[in-house]
Structure formats: C-alpha cells, structure tokens
Structure 1
Amino acid sequence: METLLHPNPNETADAVAAEPDISSAALPLGEHLRRWAADHATRTALVAGGERVPFVALDHRVDRLAAALHELGLRPGDRAMVQLPNGIAFVTVCFALFRLGVVPVLAMPTQRSHDIDALCRIAEPSAYFIADGTAGFDARSLAADMLDAHPSLRWIVVDGEPGRRDNDDDADERVVPLASLDAPPRALTPPAPNDVALLLLSGGTTGTPKLIPRTHADYAYNFSASAALCGLDDTSVYLAVLPAAHNFTLACPGILGTLASGGAVVLSDTASCDEAMPLIARERVTHVALVPPLAQLWAQAREWERSDLSSLRLVQVGGARLDPALARRLPDVLGCRLQQVFGMAEGLLCYTRLDDPPDTIAHTQGRPLSPRDEVRIVDAHGRDVAAGDVGELLTRGPYTIRGYYRAPEHNARSFTGDGYYRTGDLVRRDAAGNLIVEGRIKEQINRGGEKISAAEIELLIDALPDVQDSAVVAVPDALLGERICAFVRPQRDALDAATLKQALRARGLSEFKLPDQIEIAAHWPLTSVGKIDKQRLIAIAKARDAAPARRYVERHLSVRSEPLDLASRIMRALPSRHCTLYERGGEWSIGIDSALSVIVEPDGTVRRSDGASWRDAQPCDAIAHALADVRIDAWRAYGRAHFEFSHLTYGIDGARGDEPLLRLAIPQSEIRVSSGRALIRSLDPGALATLAELVDAQDAAQQTEPGARLETIDGERDARAYKEQVASAVREMQADAYQKVILSRAVEVPASLDTVSSYVAGRRTNTPARSFLLRDGDFEAYGFSPETVVEVSADGFVSTQPLAGTRALTGDDAEDARLRRELLRDAKEIAEHAVSVQLAMDEMSSICDADTLGVSEFMNVYRRGTVQHLASRVRGRLAAGRHAWHAFEKLFPAVTASGIPKREALDSIRRHEQRLRGLYSGCVFVVDSEGAMDAALVLRSVYRDGERCWLQAGAGLVPLSTPDREWTETCEKLASVARHLQGRAGD
C-alpha cells in the first residue's frame, strides 16, 4: 500500500495514488506556479475586489508566505484546514502550502462546526485558515472551538483581524493575521510529484465525511488536460463564482487550468447575476462554470439584466444533470457555447466536446477526459449491463484515486478488488460513448450540485430531545434539482420548522444541509419487508408541496449615496402608506406593503390575514404557530409590539385599548441598503424594475432641505400631574410594594412635523443600537433605540442588553471622561445595573440551556447620542423545544422601561399613567423564516397618529427618588430628541 504523504511515524494513510499520465505532471504544484510566473511574468493572474495581481507578484507572495509558515513550524506532510472564500488569499495560501509540502484540506465556506470538527478528527491539521467578517457567521469562534478541541491544531490564521474571544482580556497568541505572515524567501525542498498535494471533500452517503487525496501529478493532469480540451489559452479570463474549494471550480479546468494557460482568474465572492454579470462585462470574462440551479437563475435574469456578455466563449454546467430544455436555451440567452461537465472529486471527468452536435450537448453529460479512463456500467450483481441500459457507474484511471484518506472501511465498500471506484451514479451510455446520468443508487441528495448524506441529517434530527425518529428523502425540485425533505415523528408536542432548523444549526449542521421541507409524520409507511417506504414519503412530500412556496426575486444594485441618506430618500419617495425601515449592523432594510400579516388582538387572539386564527394560553406560542406554515421562502417580517402586550403575558387586567397589541407583516417587497449596495427583493417579479428605477433615482437625488425647527409644547399642569404620579409611586415603593418603576410622560409636537427629515437629523447626531422609521396608514413613528430587548440568532443563541445607569455627553472630551469615571464608581448606579442584569439572567434561565447562560459583557460604557450608559449583555443558547417567541415572551418588556419586579411595576404604570403607552417602551422588530429575531426597545422616539404628534420619556424611580429630580430627568431625555425636530419645508 503506497503512502502518499512524506514519511511520518504517526501517519497511517490508507489511500492509493492514481497514476500520473503526462510528463508535465512531473512537477509539484508549487513549482508549476514558478514556471507560469517565468512564462507570463507581468500578465494579470488574479483579479478580486479591485486588486490585480500579476503572475510574478503572485509567485513572490507565495514564496514569502511559505517561508513565514515554515517559521511558524509547518513542515512537509502536515495538514492545514483552509476555509476561505473566493479571493486572492485562497489562491495564495494554497500555493504556499503546495510549495511547502503541507497538504491543504479544502473546506467549504458554508460548512459549520459539525463538519469541521469531523474533518479535524480525520485530518489532524496543524493550522486552520479562516476569513474574518464572513456575513452572518463568526468564523473566529468556530476556529477557537476547534483549537480547544483538537490537540493537533497549533495555529489559527485569519484573513482579517484576529479579534478576541468573549471574556478574554488578551488575544490568543496562536491566532495570527494572515497579513502578518511575511518572511524572506528561503530554499525549500519541493515535495515529490506523487506525494499528496491536497485533500478534497467528498459528498458521502453516511454521516461520516470522506477526504479525497489528490497527488501533485494527478491533479496537474486533471487541470492541464481539462484546459486543453476546453480550449483555454493566454487570452482566457475565467470567472470563479462557485466556491473555489470545489474541484469543479479549482481544476476542471477552473482556476488552476486558467493559470496554467496563462489566462486571468477573476474571483467573485457571490454568484448573484446582479454582481457577476457586470463583472463579466467589466473584465471581459470568457469562461464561467455554473451548477444547474444557478444556470436557471442566470437565464431568467437576462430578461432584465442587460450587461454586455459578448466576451463569453463558454459556460460550463455541472454538479447535477442539466434539464435538456434549459441546455438548449442557455447558448441563446448567454450568447456563448455550452459545455456539460459530469465528474467527481475522486477523479473521473466527463465533458461534452466543443464540436459536439447540439443534441449531444443538450442531452448527455459527455465522455471521459482521458483515453486511459476506464468505465464499466454494471447491475446490482456487478455484471456489465447491455449497451444502452442503465446501471451503476464504475471507473478507474490515471487521475482517479484508489482509496479515501484514512478510511479503510469506506475503501472496502467503495472500491472493487481490481481498483474500480463505485461511484453510486446510475448512468447509461450512448453509441458515441457519452454518458447520460439517470440518478443515484445511494441515499444521497444532490441539492444544487452539493452531494449531501441523508443519513447524516437523520442522525442529527434523531438526537434532538423532542424527536422520536426521522426519515430524510430527496424530493425533485425545479430549481435545486433535489431538495431535502425531513419527515419527523415528534415525541410529544408538534415541532415547527424554524425551531427544528434552529436546533440543527445549534448542533453545527452546515447551512446547505438544512432541510428545505419539514413534514410531521404520525406513523411511517412501510414496505412489504417492514422498512420505511421512502418512495412513498417522496410522493407524500410532492403532494403536500403541490402548491409551491412563493419566492422572492432579487436584484442587486451598486449605489453611491450614504445608506442613511439613500434609505430616508427612498422612504420619502415610496408611494406605499405601509412601510417600515429598520437599521441594524450597517444595513437599512425597508419592508414595503404586506404579503401576509399577523396581529394580536387585546384579548390575545392571534389572527392572520388569510383568515386563520389561534387562541393559545400564551400569545407567543400562537404567533409561532401562525408563522410556522407560511408558504413564502426566505421571508423577513417587520413588526411592532405595544407596551400593553406585556399585560397579556403577565395577566394584567384592565384597559388594553382596542388596537392590536402586536403587528407583523411579511412584505410584498423589500429594499436593503448598505454601503455601496442595495438589494431589492419582491414577490412580484414585475415590481423589480419599478423599484430599481426608484432606487436609482433616489441615489442620484439631493437630500430634501429641512424645514424650520419645531418646539415641543409643555405646560405647568403637566409638571404638576407628573410630580404627583412620582410621589405616589415613591410612597408605594417605600411601603415595599415593588423596588423600581419607570413612569413616563408625553409632550405634544406641532402637527407640521416632517418625520423623515427629523429622523435623518436625529440619526446624524446619535449612535443608537438600532433605529427605525415606519409609516402605517395614519400612524407614523421614528426613533433611536439605545438597546435591544432580545436578539435571537438563526442558530439559537439569544441575548439581551440591559442599559441602566446614565451620565450626560457634553461634547467636551475631558468632561465626558470625568462623567464616565463617575458613572463607573457610582454605587447606586452600579447596584441598579447589577439588579437589571440579574433579572435578565433569571428570565433567560427558563428558556436557555444552563451551561450556556452567562454574562458576555459587564458594565461597559456605551455612548448613545447625548448620553452614556452602563451596558451589559446576557447570552445563552435556547434550550431544546424553545424558539425566539419564547425568548420574546420572557424578556418583553425591557426591565429598563418597566421596573422590578416586572408584574408589580406594570400594574403601577397602568394605575399612574394617564394614557396607554402604545408603542412607547414597546418594541420594533424583525423576525425571519430561519427563526432569528431582533427586537429594539422603543425609546427616544417620536409618534404621529393622524394630526396628533408627541414625544414621550420616562424616569426610573426608586424609593429615594424625588419628584423634582425625576421631572428634570424626563426633560433632559425629551430634549435629546426634541432638539432635532423639523417641520415640513415651506410650512
């Protein structure tokens, strides 16, 4: 048995190398780059994010990085996990490892802890390369967990800022930025051509991942022969939109084949046609590779996307069978030739040829790359089938592996005694030798080109505490090819899809492996031998999904305006009377009109706009039920909850008004604005063009001139009434009725208020945790939230951020610093803050796993506009069977806007305040189909209902409070918003 890696006393590789086939493969991959740099010197090799890297500069970077990695202690034969997105760093790191003789283990950017942990157990990497700032994902935390769990890992290398872990005062010295790894080139002994160059991932049929060892020699043949077959030369420009870690993107002929031909590689971190097609036009791209679902979306996009694609010569489509009708359409729509590709990271590659007849290209997946590729098509007994019949594909050849890495049990099942690889694909062969893929014999799901194990997902679902058992099947899907459908038998209560997905994310299941469809099964249909009848389940899944879910169509735009300016101009220009703007994390998102809405009536009845209604003991359970079966994909709902919603959850009797206490709407259309970008989404494809025109027009427009500054209307009677309320509440607290209560008051604002201009003016001088601007018929509001009530991530982490303890911000740095020190030393403020944190801990303890609950930030000082606050964050992971609405129920209303204990404080507010609070001290929120929630506390806000406009602010009362001081505090808080009130221009 040949050992593929450099000799290592601890190494036990159980794989056999493929045979090299051509003389050029005699060089290791790192030396190939050296030859390319000599041949092509200053020609562009890589383009990404505005940066252009010539061949000679890439070779120089690789030399210096390899030397620096050698100084870190990486040696030939070591493994290194590489989980980087498409970019220059990916290519540079891979070649540096090739040159050093370290073996990269190529992980997909979308893989999460479940996969990465399994790969680390097999490969035992010495280093792990990650990217900072991946959207919606904290790669540093995942890497830190792997560093703790796997003794072989010595280094985490971050493309970006290394950062710190929660509660760590010092950065971990084992976490280093990629940019810091730079050393003078040194002489390194190159690996041998037959040594393993890299480990690719295989889509398995069990829950256990498999690694594919590819040698320098066989992989060089892979991309060199593919480049020659596909007609690449030094004028070729290849656009990488699929993940670079895929064999298809990397070497079929892909990135490496293009570089070998002297061409340029353009690396894109998105496959969206809105960004990729302008990139094709700008860089004059000649070649691109897609999977069938993406090809379908690109074809549809050409109905409105008008970038110049005339430079395209060839589009490759692979990863799954391409529908013949789409195959015939693509050349006309994209204006170039089509090539079908069928292959596997284990080796065998089949291509339709550039000169094949149109029927062959449309209806087959091509024939093998090498004349030395051997193909057999066999029946269930291993016998060759008759010509033209369907059977399992077996293959061996010069670049196909003879065994997986460290996987003797897999190898015994996956390879025949004479070295053929059992692919599990069902194929037939036409008279010209072309293969036609008909399906698979294994329980593997081909979702958009990703091969996914049904058994792996079943194993994770079955481990959930509320699940009796499950069955996962592949269901035909018009877009994905196959979608993942999970049938689940619950132990007791019904499960909803969002909660189940949240639990799977919490256990580290990668995003692309999450079920697309979840069905509850009371019992299993069985075959005649007593096994679960999965064909029957597929039929059931298709029948239940006969009315397909509505999907948003999307369009990306590049914009020049600052997000605040553009979002506010869009809000002003929108003709809709029902839209909500919500700002968080640098994104201003706007939900426009309602495709489906949910309201909670004052009596607790939950009603959906399609006529369905629920009346559960707890309204939040009913809301979850109302959202569980929404037939809209990837929705984000915008909502608001009145303060009096808390009366339902706490059982407070008395007036709740006659308006809904909670409203949320899944929008018909949506616009999300961030720096340099705008994303338009709509359930109506016809609305995209209109919305795009509106965004373009507002991007080019000027900001509206503000009107005159407005003054609030406050009176002596108001002061007397509020001070009497404070005195009454203080007497109750002194009698030990409760510990703390926040009493508020409102002041009137002239009806000429311009909400959009006032919002913009206030936001420019504020640093809120969140901001919002909403319009719902005659009701309008905007505000700058100092804190969130609850945040729940899609993977089930929940947090809340109590702010208690305040000092002014004066604008004088020295004075602000003095007040900050004073705040941090004030025993009364610290004690009140600590009580708020303890209450948050108590509330979250009933919904979170005990061993995950803790304080991740304590008594930090946050600047919020004209004040600074003591802030802490309590964080935990939702317990099994809990969802975001359980967290909302426990944490709403915010303790900082109600009091301690909450129930007694709520009753005090009901008795002392003259009006219902409505939205004041309630929340504005977004919640989505993945189970995530973000709810902002409504303070420092302005309201309009018809012709009445007002501000509202409160003060936190304790037994030692005085009416005069609390009146003054409300005046200060009201002034922080009132100073930015602007009237309509011309009034």
Structure 2
Amino acid sequence: MNKLLKKAIAREKPVNWPDITLGSLLSHLAEQFTGRPAVCCGPDQMTYLELADKSDRFANYLHQAGVRKGDNVLLQLPNSIGFLVALFALFRLGVRPVLAMPTQGENDLETLCQIAHPRMWIHPDHYLAHDFQPLATRIAECLPTLQQVVVYQADDPDCTLRSFCQCAPLNQQDAPTVDMEDIALLLLSGGSTGTPKLIPRTHADYLYNVSIMAEICRTNTDTVYLVTLSAAHNFTLSCPGILGVLQSGGKIVMARTPSCDEVFPLVEQHRVTMTSLVPPLLALWLEYRTWDESDLSSLRLLQVGGAKLESTLAARVKPELGCQLQQVFGMAEGLICCTRLDDAPEVIMHTQGRPASQWDRLRVVNADNHEVGIGETGELLTQGPYTITGYYCAPQQNLTSFTQTGEYRSGDLVRLTAEGNVIVEGRIKELINRAGEKVSCTELEQCIARHPDIEDCVVVGVKDSDLVERICVCLSERHRISLAELRIFLQQQGLSNFKLPDQLLSVANWPVTPVGKIDRRQLAVMARQQTDNADLHLFQSMSDYRPLPVLAEEMPLHASPLDVVCNFLALRPEKCLAYEKDACWHIGFDALAEIHLYKDRCELLMPGKCQRFSHQHDYLHSLQQALNALPFSRWRALGVGDFELSYLFHDLPAQVPTKRPLLQLLIPRFELMLTEGKAHLKATNSTEIALLREQLMAADHIYTPVELEPGRHLDVRERLSQDDSETYKQQVKEAIEDIQHGKYQKVILSRRIFLDESLDLVASYHFGRRHNTPARSFLVNYNQHQFMGFSPETIVESTAQGILSTQPLAGTRALKADEQENTRLREELISDTKEIAEHAVSVKLAFDELRQVCVPNSVSVQKFMQVLPRGTVQHLASQLQGTLAEGRSCWDGLKALFPAVTASGIPKRAALEAIATREVEPRGAYSGTVLMLDSDGALDAALVLRSLYHLEDGFALQAGAGIVEQSQPVREYTETLEKLQSIGLYLITER
C-alpha cells in the first residue's frame, strides 16, 4: 500500500463515514429506485435499473478488453448518458477513471498520459466543432499500447454507448473486490494556470463528500438537477452534483452546452429544480433573462462556484431568477465551503460560506506560516477527512503543496469572519510584482467592477523587461472604455498610482481551462502577443490623456497626386512631412505627438507634456517605451533620422551630438494619402476633417510649372564643377592610402556645396520629381529640418509580418538623354571590375547584417546586380530579404542596416570614424533616413541622398562617392558631379 493511501486511511473519520464503494452504489440505487428516471439527455432517458444494467454490460465489455482493477482509464466524454454508463462501469471494475474535459487539448492529454499511464482512452470521434480523429492518430503514434474506445457520432449521436453494451452483464466472479479506501478516480486540478495535476480521491472520501453536500442542499427524489457545466468537473459531479442527486433518487438532465438557448428550455421542459454555474455563466444567464420568457419557476436552488462571485451579481439572483442562491467555494482536492439555505442574505451575498463538514480544519496563515487573526487575509491551509494529502505521482509538487503535517496549501487568499464563514480574496499567484510592489489582481478587479459600464474583467500580470510584470486589464470587447478613462476612474476610487493598469486587452471570447475556469495564463499570452504586434494600449504615467477618435474620409482627386501635393505644401503647413512610396504620397502635419531620441534619453512630447525615458537598458528600449506610452493605437508616424544616429548605433560616443535629437518622429494630427484619382483623409474630429477637406479641395488643381518663368530656373552646373574640386580629390587620395594601410576597405566621402540664392523647395521638388525615377521621394518641413529629395534606395523595409528587406546600391554611371550613350555606359558599368567588386562587397555586408537579426537560413538575395535608373545616374542594385527572428523588431533591422553601406563604408565602424575625421561639418539629414512607421511594426526607411537642404547658412547640395583601393580621385570627383546634378539641374529660385 502506498504512502498516500496510508495517510488517507489514517485520517480521523466521521461517524457517518461510508462503508460502500462507488462501484456498488449504483446497484443499491437500482434496487431502491428501480423504475424512477435516473438520467435523460436529448431524446434518450434511462431509469435507475436501466442505467445499472447498461453500466454492468459496459463493464463486461471493458473486462473482455483486458481492463483490470488498478488500471487507469482516460475518460473523455461529453455530457451524456454514456458518460455515466462508463463512469459507473469503471467504478464497478475497480478501475480508476482519469476524468478529462471534452475540450482538453493534446498537450494536456499527453501530460495526463505521462502521469497516469492509462491502459485505455474512451472518447468520441467528434465533439461539437472539435475533431478528435487527428488527435487520436497522433496519440496512437506516441502511445501505441494505449487502447482506444471511440464513440462514433454517426452511429451514436447522443453518446449512449449502446453499441458497446450488447454483451451480457458482468459475471459476479469477474467483479473484483474493491476496498472503500482504494483510489476511486483521478480528478483534474482546477488551478487557473491550466497545468494538469491529478487528484486521487478514494471511494469513501468521495462518497462522504457527496453525502454531506446532498444533506446541506436537501436533495431528495423530487430533485431534478441540470448538468450545465462539464460532467467531469468535480463541482458538477459531487457537490452534491450528479452523484449526490442520484444518491437521493433524483433525476439528472444533461445539457450538451451551457448556452442559454439550450438550457432555459430544458429547465422549463423537465421542471429543473437545481443547477450549478460559474460566475461568468451566471452573468450571461442574467443578461439573457432580460428578454427571455422561459418558465424558470421550478428552479429552487442555484449553486455558483469555481471562482469568486461578486456581491453585485449575487444580489440579482433571487429577484431576477426567482431562486435561492448558494455560494460554493471548493476544490477538487477536497475541502468544500458553502452557504446554507437558511443563512442570512448578507452571508449569502458577501461570503462563500463555511466548511461542509465539522471535521474540516482550516488555518489562515501569512507568508511566514503564522496564523492571522479573524478578518485578516492570508493563505488558506486545510485538512480533513475528504481532503487529499498528496497529488498522484507528483512527489516534487507535493513538497510545496502540502505541509509536513498533511495540510493542503490551497493557494487561495481568504479571510474568516467571526462566524466561521470564508471570504475569498484571490489567489497567491494572482499577485502581480510590479517594480517590487505587490498588486492584488482581485483587489483591482473589485475596484474595476464598480465602474457602471463594466460587467466582467480579469486582471493578469504580464512579463515586462522594465517592471518585472505589468498590469493588464482584460475586458470583453463589448466594453467601450479606453485605458486612460479606466485609469482616471480608478484614481477617483482612491487606488494608488502603482496599482493602475499599464495595458488594456480587449477579449472577444474568454479563454477557459478544461475545467471551465478563465485561463489567466492564456490571457497573459494574448497580452504579450498584443505587445509584439505593437498595437498596444500602454501607459507610463501620462494618464490624463485619452485616446482620440480618428475620423476617415475618401475624396476623388482631379489633378495628379504630385500636383496636389505641391499645391498643398505651398501653403507651408507646420510640422509637415510628405513621403512618396509606390506612387502613393503620404502627408502628415501638425503634431498630435512627437518622439525625439537623444544620445542619453528619449522624449515623448505632447501638448504641454514632456515625458523622458533614460537609456537605462539601451536606446532602442527607451524608444520602444516612448512608443508604447502613446495613449492611442493604430497610429502612423513619419520621421527623420540624422546620419549621426549611426554613431549611437555603432558605439562611437565621442561622435554623438549631445544637444540635438538624432531621430525625430511625428505622429500627425492630420493625414493625407494621395494616389491617382483618390485621396484618403484622416483627422481627430469632424471640425478638423472639414478643415482638411477644404484645404485639399483648394489644392486639387494643376500645379503651374515655374521653371519657364524668367530667372526662376537656376543653372548651377558650372559652379558645381569649380567648387572645392582639389580639396575633395586630396581627401580621396588620403582615403585610398588609409585603405592601402588596412584601416578599412571602403569609405564614402561627401562634399557639400552652398548656394547663394534663396530657393523654392516645393517648386524645385515638383520640377525635379518629373525628371527623376526615385525609389522614394520626400519633402520635409519639420523642426530644424527643411529639405526635399529623391532617394535612390531604401535602407530597410519591414512588413507587419516581420519580413525584412534592404536594397544596397553600389556602382554608378551617368544617365543622359542619348539612349545609345546610356547603353554604352550601362555596358561599361556591368563590366567594370572595380564597380562589380564594390557592389559584391556591399551585398555581402548587407547579407551579414540581415543575418544578425533574422531567422537562420531565411536570408536570401532576391535580385542581384540589376541596373536601375535614378535621375541623372544609373546604379548597380540588388535586393536581399529575411524573416525577423523571435524577439526582434523593425528597430533591430534599422540598427543592423543603418547607415546604408552606400553612404558609409566597409567596415562601417571604421568608415564612420574616417567620415567624422575627414568631413568638417556634421552631415545631419544627408545620408540619414526619412521613414514611415506604423503601429503594427511596418517600417519603410529611405536613404536621404539626391536632396536639396535649407540649412542655417543657406541652401546646400551634398553628394559623395565610394572610395576603394582601385579608386581614382578624378573619377570619384566626377561621380559626385553626376549625383549632384540629379538635384542641381532642377533648382527653382524664390520669387
């Protein structure tokens, strides 16, 4: 006899301790209540005698299949007559049913099999929408010796097991002798984590459990019990449940689902007197009852358990359902507490009752295992005649779940009243460790429940790199409340700031564990997935902001998008960025919020507010913190990253500016998206969208070209060829010497040309865009940045699904009006060994950079060494692609690829040091990035080249060339001329 059973037998036993087994119970009941109806399900009904007969026949079937006393059998049947037939058959044989819920998944079943080593698995081929057949095949492959008894829906739609009960009843000599202290069945632990543990209940302790609850609930032959929850649930089976009502000669009505449209007609049809629910189902019943007209007048007792019932919901039961409420607090491990039918209303409304047996022993202890006083909260420890002293085959778990004296550590936080009633406050594991502060999920749930528009909520802790755990409030998707509004409400309730929720998760359907409890672990997983998708409602202290509604509208366009863009931008809106991608112009202006990344911090700016995030971990982390702190979701940002951001990325602190931001993001109040013939408008309210509509209508006409106006077109070709040519050639010569000495392989050195004239950025953009074929184009008037340009390549493109790509360009020739000359230059380009080698090295570097942040073996070259026209030049271009690795974001992709090798060199860090040494002025936006970022993680970052800049000292052009060992100073200087002309040919002066 194992130690567990020795402990069980040694327990102090009540005087009414059972002296029969569950296997012999049914035959006694058949003699006593022979022709009375025992159970019905759908169109089928069985009397006590018929149920005993079918159970004996199925027991014989199992015996012939080799199942013997002491075996474990996995029983996974839906609510049905067949469930009871199989259950009592197994009891009769001394075989221990392992009760699995019909919805139990593959992982749980594998775990149960590893613990219990069942000889047989009894299950349907289908249950509702769940197809068991693929699962059965996989289980058979893993456990080939496991016998399977499959109930086929086509042959037995109501799961009565009739085809297995055709044999004779079990012979008396084949019926084993079963001791009442033998393990009768193995129940699933009902913990909120959903991890299966098996609870061994003996025949005697389980029958005692059933008997005392039947006595408390006053069940008798008139009792009609509706099974709404799973029959395999301990609450449904034994509190008093199915077994208690059968023991009293009552009738069981099986509901296939707990849906109101099924169970309410069953109550009316069978004159149901008693049923059991969990709190979420009670809330649904009450909601459904507001318009349902079913006759529920027969219902006398409604048990609610499985989770704490809020008093506001409890108070509605009698007025709205017309029956007595009984609160039940129990555990499959044993102890049951419940209110009594004659308790005072305040006891029934506000407590979970007192122990069912006078032999139950309860202690409430603090973290040091010392008992607390009456009314103080602590962990409930219990032992008693029907409470287990150890889980089945779980020695390690038993060390932490039971004390040395055999008390069960329930993990429930409770307090006791002076009258001995239990008030459940939550679970020990439902404490959230938020930055060292312990926050009770239950306390927060109770505060939230006071909100007049919230009916149900669950609070979970979600792993957080900064806070250890953040507080996530999960609400049904029908609740239309923002996180900001919820935080303000809780502050008004007097809740401490450290207890305010950080995240709001909208839930379409509550995930539940196999025993019917809300699955908090799955909710935490869902909350983490919401974080990964970046569509996240998080707060970091800006709780006075509320998410603003976004109004969208569509309008037809009559002029070309380019014309409309230029007409619109000629109005000079403040804080404005226009970004062209794939023939679609995205325009954002006027700041709803801004995010600025500095050397030492990141700032979130909103009207009248500045929130700082220091780089305690790293700059990308604080950047993500700032984005997470935006008090709205589904946003789009446009932004500018300076070239000097690369010094931060490549750990060159001496070169990183300290006083100006390296990256600036604008979350615009107004958005336009213009394509051929169509415009999409977005704003935050009807007044703003009306204003935007009016401005767009005013801009929807042909843009008048101004390059033909006398004196407006500025020709700077001669000036470009005369400016600092010798200085630049000397820099190239010195760089070649550095390369020869092994300092680096390649460096891009640039030269900046200032112009004396005052230029019109918008008119120059319109003129230049008509003569350029860029990968992206942009026009920026944002804080200190005023520039426009035509990018030849993207640094990084990242989709919301995590597909990362980059487009390195290296190798250049001029692009002229003469097609024959262009063909000759193209052939020259693709056969120039210096250009080919330069391009191949760039592709190899991009490949290695992608591999740093992508799934192994996902990186590939999609296009290699194509010739692409870009304004006045043509380039060798390739495209590479990979899939972001788990835990990586688009920012990791940008960090790996920025700056573009086209604008820095190889290796990048050494090239950056050379650029900082040889170029006198900071580059700023030149060779940095203009980007577009979406809240779902999509990022499109263009390289800033071929641009016109309005700087403090005037208007300027800037271009560079890639220096390698084979470079010639004259040729590299010529290349800068060719690139400068992409912009220099299309400059328009101000009027």
Larger Cα-atom Rg: 2
Q: How does the TM-score come out when normalised to structure 2?
A: 0.48
